[in-house]
Chains A and B, each alone.
Chain A
Amino acid sequence: MTIPAAFASYRERVGAALADGARFAGLHGTSDGALVRTLLADPDGTTRVETVAAKEGVVPSIVDIAPAAGWDEREAHDLQGVRFAGHEPLRPLVSHDPALERWVPVRGDDVYQLAVGPIHAGIIESGHFRFHLVGDRILHLDAQLFYKHRGLERAAEGKTLHEGLAYASRACAACSVANGVAYASTCEQALGLVPTAELRRARTILLELERTWSHLNDIAAICAGVSLAAGNNRFAALTERARRLNAALTGHRFLFHTVRVGGSELALDPDQIWAAREELASINAAALRGWRELLFNTSFQDRLPDIGVVTATHAERLGAVGPGARAAGLTQDLRANSPHLAYEGFSAVVPERAAGDVQARFEQRALELWQTFAILDELLDHPIQPASAEPSGDEQPIGVGRVESPRGATSCIVERGDRIERLRLRTGSYANWPVVAHAATDNLLPDFPLINKSFELCYACVDR
């Protein structure tokens, strides 16, 4: 894997994999910028890493054959100093250059720029949006994130695999379990371990508990996006109940400290299991009632269709993942191919009207929520014991782990010797931010909050 490969053959290998149906799943530079690695994922869930050595700091860009690699290459340039031949202009992503030229130049009559953020008007994470507009219509949106860049990946270098968990799971509270499980799976692959059935079940329950509050919160946020206070309050109250359930089961409302490398300490006795099942059934029933109310609220429903459209072709091209991709009709969900988790028999749902607009993404949340309640109902049928992973193969210098977070496919890579040499976490939010910018194009500026909330992405696990 460390043998320097010819530039042409790297591009050919990536191109051939993509032509065979593989999807781009991440690209990163090694800590010293000497190597660039591209993660590719086949539809059956297997992954491979293609590596190219930099010559005088330059590697060939793949952004022309895999547009989803755009942000990854810009990040590798800013953080590891890699230059990408053929990626022109290679605009800063993590580095914040105040010069106006860093923005996409928009010329013509009546075109103007509107700057929003990094501090927003509500309770929103920090990030800057640069709208290019004619009147109220959005011509182009540049999202400048990374205001919250804490250098987590860099800080994890030199740590042990066990210490590294904190850097992955504390990247983001909303995706703490998904990122933690992705990291733990990565390390277990590197250590030659596989989780036992009980460990798979424990982790799957945690992941679905996270998805429960997250999707309830997303529905509340979309209601807030059109100022429907009643719908917002209803689902915000259900989000609260889901978080209280998390606290009752694990001692933490966001399920912090529940994931461990090589095992799980989660223990739920029959009384806790029973109480959890009862509360989940009650939340499910209340969510169904609330959902029905929203379906019959025509003034609300009229606001959703044909706003923020991402067609299946564009979703595929831009590398969209998660509910946003499925709402455009892409039936991809990592849960369908997760041998290290307890998703036997799972298949992805897509809405009947998979138009890739706000309406479809809204409906997608509900469809996935009903699935999640069913999965939890099935898995929470007997007590949970602490569990561990078992040795099953050789240790590897590079581990890869992928998990379907509430916001989509999250990939984690760890390169290691005795300690972590490089940690890369590419979350569902990271994959989807360029899709949000695309979805906003050609829409009216006042619809942007609604479009944004229909994706409801995190900033924290993008910025890291």
Chain B
Amino acid sequence: MARRQRIFARAAVIAALLLVRSTSADVLPDDRADLFYSKYSGGGMDITGESALVRKKITENWAVEANYFVDKVSGASIDVLSQASVIKDTRKQKTGTIEYLHDKTTYTASYINSVERDYVSNTASFSLSQDMFGDLTTVTLGYAKTNDKVGENNGTAWVPIIDWLGYAQTSSYSGGISQIITKNFIAGVNLQVITDSGYLANPYRSIRYLDSSNPKGYSLASQVYPDTHTSTAVTVQGKYYLPYRAAVTASYRYYTDTWGVVGNTVELDYTHPIKNIWILEGRARYYKQGQATFYSDLFPFADSQNFTARDQNLAALDNYTLGAKATYAFLPDGWKFFKRATVTLDISRIRFNYTDFRNIKYYGVPQYPPGTEPLYYFNATVSQIYVSMFF
């Protein structure tokens, strides 16, 4: 089954809708090729990601980029309620991007196609980035449109039977301003409004409600989601060059949506290079969110609300992340046609704490009547290793 994949598919597509990742509209970035491998382990899930990316300038003004990404999931998620089934699925994502630089403006267009057995997603996005006021200010605007086909696997991981349930559409509008404040300090503000409609729920998840007629004390039912969702996120960030060669980054994001979720994110980063061979980085992040209005871990009875959800993504939670990253330039000054080549190892440790999502391990255990089970928490480790070659 692909419940983890479901969330990944939507998340990947949404991640792709975000603001142009990083550009400065003076020259197009260097040509590069990257090979990437990652592993996420936590909450009973193991997900590996493999990716290859190639970026090439066609002329001084035009560049193209192609990316292929494969996610493989295995494990059983905490929110498996009906069967303790093993999940095994693969998601393949292809992205093509074109960039055009004219004077102080960079135009970017990309197309993303993501396919897995029970979820197909296609996104077209366009953005524009303009340098102004002596190249101290950069203004970016972006728009993206996504169309998804949502299904449910009613078979097994090895013999799938897919039921196509519906469609979802997403539109994303983003804008950002980046401003050089001093020769040591650059700051930025980003705004992104995303609106989706259609089949927005995860069909593999169920809600539970108190049911004294059931020996376990609760019964399951399908989630009922609204068919629209609009969210607004604002980020304020700054990067400062310290008196010695190092940089600190601080950012704060405020998120709110029509489902009642409010999220606050704070992140701090420290980057320390050693000559032109090593770049070491340490980061800390704290995230806290309030639950969605129609979320509950245990509803009082069947059909108690118009909309019901028990998806842990919509629960009240917080998480802490500590990460470290080391980049080693094994070809710092290039070799033949390579300008530079680096290898990077990045490890993050995340601790999730839920304040209104209970640990399924204790469901039906006599010692814990429904609604009194211990709250869920888990640790996850994300490791990434990649090689980047610059031409």
On whether the two chains bind one another, the answer is: no
